[in-house]
């Protein structure tokens, strides 16, 4: 039985499959082994900004087995893996005729029936995400099938109304994007201050002495012994549980979290002190955040406690320069990951502790601006969610 979305005017719900066209497939290793093609895998989608940011150029003969789906501009990609992370994006013109991973459900809006932007806003809504999470299977690697995505329903007003709703949501989302861009500029400011004081850390332009990171403090993996990790008895208690996604989105300091541990969860984990530098070693590789509270984190995160020769913030900003290198070089099985040995062996240019302290003071000014911007971002997110909710209930 199909849902309806109650509101001032009820919107009839229709299966997405009724409003999209089929997508063709191509095997680059057979069709064009000597040519380069553009490959969009799951890691190419920025889960926070919902855009394709890291498509790869791959030789046909070296095409991964998942590289099969031919996409067109305007297609909407929905990651079927870990639906709670909502890895969705619209294919832009520049990626027309690219090949997408079979880890995506590719939704191609049918002309005259479904607007691409309207569909995109729907698949990033809480209603859609919650339904996918509820139907996901697999404890350690939850996923849904293409069939589940396509059978799920979408409110389906007339095309002109879809476009009107999408335009309103686009405008509201643009405000959020501007605030995120401002936060990103503040992150770049922290890097600029680092280079001004200590030179380019990648080339070690000032010839500072190099030390292995493992010699400058303690590096220890987080603890999550119990399986399955989503056992309800572990969760929903008073102890903050920091995940890799929380770190990737924190802009320096981890001030919020999406999960908590119970007393049972704490017993199979560990509570880390405020001020710990958290470093992701799986999924989002090399992202960092400094705990602003006592908290737990799983073994996909490493905690760094500095010794007397280094300040936490100094290590954090230095790592921001090498994050992409760490991620690109990470081995990949089900998902990318690195280990403690790699982190301990990283060579860090070591400035004097006096200069590091001056650096930390300058960063504090930047952080005060970040807090203000983040508070504004929270308000904009709440506004967008409210507008989105009203839109899909026929109340705009």
Q: Residue 35 pLDDT > 60, yes or no?
A: yes
Same domain as 144, residue 75? yes
Same domain as 152, residue 246? no
∠ CA 287-377-314 to the nearest 5 degrees?
35
Cβ atoms of 323 and 355 within 8 Å: the answer is no
- As beta bridge partners, residue 133 has none
314's tokens? 């100094």
Least confident of 31-40, 106-115, 334-343: 334-343
Cβ atoms of 82 and 39 within 8 Å: the answer is no
Same domain as 31, residue 103? yes
Indicate the residue among 350, 371, 391 that finishes a domain.
Answer: 350
On average, the pLDDT of the chain sits at: 91
Same domain as 105, residue 230? no
Same domain as 259, residue 139? no
Residue 8: band (very low, low, confident or very high) from pLDDT cuts 50, 70, 90:
very low
Cβ atoms of 206 and 196 within 8 Å: the answer is no
What is the number of other CB atoms lying within 10 angstroms of the CB of residue 122? 28
Any domain includes 216? yes
CA 363 to chain centre: 25
Q: Which structural domain, as residue segments, surrounds residue 122?
A: 4-156
Any domain includes 273? yes
Q: Residue 206 pLDDT > 90, yes or no?
A: yes
Cβ atoms of 216 and 345 within 8 Å: the answer is no
Q: Residue 396 pLDDT > 70, yes or no?
A: yes
Q: Residue 34 pLDDT > 60, yes or no?
A: yes
Same domain as 146, residue 16? yes
When pLDDT is averaged across residues 229-234 and rounded to a whole number, the result is: 86
Same domain as 234, residue 105? no
Residues whose CB is less than 8 angstroms from the CB of residue 165 and which lie 6 or more positions away in sequence, other chains included: 118, 121, 157, 391, 392, 396
The count of residues in the chain is 396
What's the pLDDT at 10? 58
Answer positive or negative: Cα dihedral of 319, 324, 329, 331: positive
Same domain as 217, residue 129? no
Q: Measured between alpha carbons, how far is residue 234 from residues 136, 296, 300, 381 in Å?
A: 20, 12, 17, 29
Report percent pLDDT > 90 for the chain. Answer: 72
Any domain includes 261? yes
Indicate the residue among 350, 371, 388 that finishes a domain.
Answer: 350
Same domain as 20, residue 131? yes
Same domain as 137, residue 17? yes
Residue 2: band (very low, low, confident or very high) from pLDDT cuts 50, 70, 90:
very low
What's the pLDDT at 386? 87
Q: Residue 120 pLDDT > 80, yes or no?
A: yes
Residue 283: band (very low, low, confident or very high) from pLDDT cuts 50, 70, 90:
confident
The 8-class DSSP code of residue 24 comes to -
Cβ atoms of 135 and 148 within 8 Å: the answer is yes
Q: Which of 343, 332, 322 is nearest to 283 (CA)?
A: 332
Domain CATH code at residue 220: 3.90.220.20
- As beta bridge partners, residue 54 has none
Indicate the residue among 156, 191, 219 that finishes a domain.
Answer: 156
Provide the number of structural domains found in the chain: 2
Any domain includes 317? yes
Of residues 330 and 246, more confidence is placed in 246
Helix axes 159-198, 116-123, angle to 10 degrees: 60
Any domain includes 276? yes
Any domain includes 370? no
Q: What is the pLDDT of residues 48-91, one digit of tens each?
A: 889 999 899 999 999 999 999 999 999 999 999 999 999 999 99
Q: What is the pLDDT of residues 135-156, one digit of tens each?
A: 999 877 899 999 999 999 999 9
Same domain as 149, residue 229? no
- What backbone phi and psi angles, to 5 degrees, belong to 285? -80, 130
Any domain includes 290? yes
Any domain includes 235? yes
CA 172 to chain centre: 21
Cβ atoms of 39 and 7 within 8 Å: the answer is no
- Rounded distance, CA 372 to CA 313, Å? 20
Same domain as 151, residue 14? yes
Q: What is the pLDDT of residues 294-349, one digit of tens each?
A: 999 999 999 999 999 999 999 999 999 999 888 877 665 445 567 889 999 999 99
- How many CA atoms does the CB half-sphere of 127 hold within 13 Å? 20
């Amino acid at each position: 039985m199909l849902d309806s979305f109650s509101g001032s005017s009820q919107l009839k719900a229709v299966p997405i499959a009724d409003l999209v066209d089929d997508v063709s497939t191509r095997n680059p290793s057979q069709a064009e082994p000597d040519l380069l093609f553009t490959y969009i895998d799951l890691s190419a989608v920025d889960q926070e900004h919902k855009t394709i940011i890291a498509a790869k150029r791959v030789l046909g003969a070296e095409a991964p087995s998942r590289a099969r789906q031919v996409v067109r501009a305007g297609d909407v990609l929905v990651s079927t893996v870990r639906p709670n992370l909502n890895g969705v994006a619209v294919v832009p013109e520049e990626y027309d005729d690219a090949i997408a991973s079979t880890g995506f459900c590719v939704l191609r809006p049918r002309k005259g029936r479904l607007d691409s932007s309207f569909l995109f806003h729907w698949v990033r809504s809480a209603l859609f995400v919650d339904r996918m999470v509820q139907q996901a299977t697999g404890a350690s690697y939850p996923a849904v099938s293409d069939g589940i995505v396509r059978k799920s329903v979408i409110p389906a007003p007339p095309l002109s109304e879809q476009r009107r709703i999408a335009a309103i949501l686009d405008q509201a989302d643009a405000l959020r994007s501007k605030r995120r861009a401002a936060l990103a500029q503040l992150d770049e400011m922290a890097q600029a201050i680092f280079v001004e004081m200590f030179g380019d850390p990648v080339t070690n332009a000032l010839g500072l002495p190099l030390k292995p990171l493992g010699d400058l403090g303690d590096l220890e993996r987080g603890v999550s012994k119990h399986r399955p990790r989503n056992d309800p008895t572990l969760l929903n208690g008073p102890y903050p549980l920091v995940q890799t996604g929380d770190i990737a989105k924190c802009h320096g300091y981890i001030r919020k979290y999406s999960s908590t541990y119970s007393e049972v969860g704490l017993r199979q984990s560990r509570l880390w002190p405020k001020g710990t530098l958290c470093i992701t070693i799986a999924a989002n590789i090399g992202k960092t955040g400094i705990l602003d509270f006592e908290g737990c984190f799983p073994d996909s995160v490493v905690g760094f406690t500095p010794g007397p020769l280094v300040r936490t913030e100094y290590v954090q900003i230095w790592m921001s320069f090498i994050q992409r290198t760490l991620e690109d070089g990470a081995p990949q099985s089900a998902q990318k990951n690195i280990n403690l040995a790699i982190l301990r062996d990283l060579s860090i240019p070591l400035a004097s502790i006096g200069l590091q302290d001056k650096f930390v003071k300058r960063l504090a000014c930047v952080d005060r601006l970040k807090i203000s911007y983040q508070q504004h971002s929270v308000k904009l997110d709440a506004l967008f969610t409210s507008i989105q909710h009203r839109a899909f209930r026929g109340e705009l």
